[in-house]
Amino acid sequence: MTENIATRDAYGQELLALGAEDPRVVALDADLSGSTKTSLFARAYPERFFNMGIAEQDMMGFAAGLAAGGLIPFASTFAIFAAGRALEPIRNSIAYPRLNVKIAATHAGLTVGEDGASHQALEDVAWLRAVPHMTVLAPADAVETRLVVRAAAARAGPVYIRLGRPAVPVLFGADYRFEIGRMNVLREGRDAVIVANGLMVAAALQAAEILAAEGIEAAVLNGASVKPLDTETLLFWAARAGAVVTAEEHSIIGGLGSAVAEALGEGCPVPLERVGVRDCFGESGQPDALLAKYGLTPAAVAAAARAAVARKK
């Protein structure tokens, strides 16, 4: 049986490990440490953990100052408050001066679930991707999350890490490797390419199975590194297959789908179908019910692939 682990849990574990290795690592939270899992770090390193209360903008300003003082701050809260509430302090006080702040934002996307639209960040990748100097990473599972957190800590400059609330299948083994700016090819295929990130990677892999049963061989690329995007790998597989699908737990505006569309438009114009939330807000409900209602399922990804393949000249 596949083990299910939330990417926020993996983040908490890896932050704890980094804390042991590097005294420069500090953590900040905005009264959600139990949910973002910075509580693990807080218990182990109370002198390096700072709860800022419900004040996300202030948290980003403090993080900027801590980074300017030579530390490596990880600032965590829900994605809607990190990327949304605090966007302009992130832009001006962190990204503009390229300060070494890591923003680990949990509870991204629809799968926040019952809390509803006010808490479901569906635009955070779009917001952060547009900010110069910012790296944007959206890992698929617990294994990749730990590698992403480590890569973020090792990278000089600001990084946004997009994490989820629900337990998701562990897809990758101990030999899995992650590199910022590189797409991992999870499955090869000559008929279509599915580029996915976050929990939609699992859906993409299932969609590829569905398609294979129909005789459509779909490659699956992991778009965890939304920015920088590995256009070389993307264009290679897009040219080979001639049809592309993107899948993300995010608005189809401004996220992975847009990043892929921009790269294809400039480098390899082929039919593209985007699976994501279609320019609307979410709502309350169980995560799986929301994913089904908003079309973020393996069946929806497979349907999008069929549509893209059908549009090939």
In whole angstroms, the minimum distance from the beta carbon of 136 to other proteins comes to 21
Query: Nearer to other proteins by C-beta: 5 or 68?
Result: 68
| Strand pairing category for 72-78 and 102-106 | parallel
Using the contact rule CB under 8 A, the part of the chain among 3-11, 12-20, 65-73, 181-189 near other proteins is 65-73
In whole angstroms, the minimum distance from the beta carbon of 31 to other proteins comes to 12
C-alpha to C-alpha distance for 76 and 229, rounded to whole angstroms: 24
* Residue carrying the six token digits 């701050």: 73
Using the contact rule CB under 8 A, the part of the chain among 53-61, 219-227, 252-260, 282-290 near other proteins is 53-61
Q: 150: alpha, beta or left, given left = phi > 0 and alpha = psi -120 to 50?
A: alpha
257 is a contact residue toward other proteins (CB under 8 A): no
**Quick one: how far is CA 89 from the chain centroid?**
21
At residue 244, φ and ψ (nearest 5 deg) are -130, 140
48 is a contact residue toward other proteins (CB under 8 A): yes
70 is a contact residue toward other proteins (CB under 8 A): yes
C-alpha to C-alpha distance for 109 and 164, rounded to whole angstroms: 7
Cis bond before residue 228 (omega within 30° of 0): yes
65 is a contact residue toward other proteins (CB under 8 A): yes
**Quick one: how far is CA 189 from the chain centroid?**
24
Using the contact rule CB under 8 A, the part of the chain among 87-95, 110-118, 270-278, 296-304 near other proteins is 87-95
In whole angstroms, the minimum distance from the beta carbon of 28 to other proteins comes to 9
Q: Which residues bind other proteins (CB under 8 A)?
A: 26, 47-48, 50, 52-53, 55, 57-58, 60-71, 73, 88-89, 92-93, 96-98
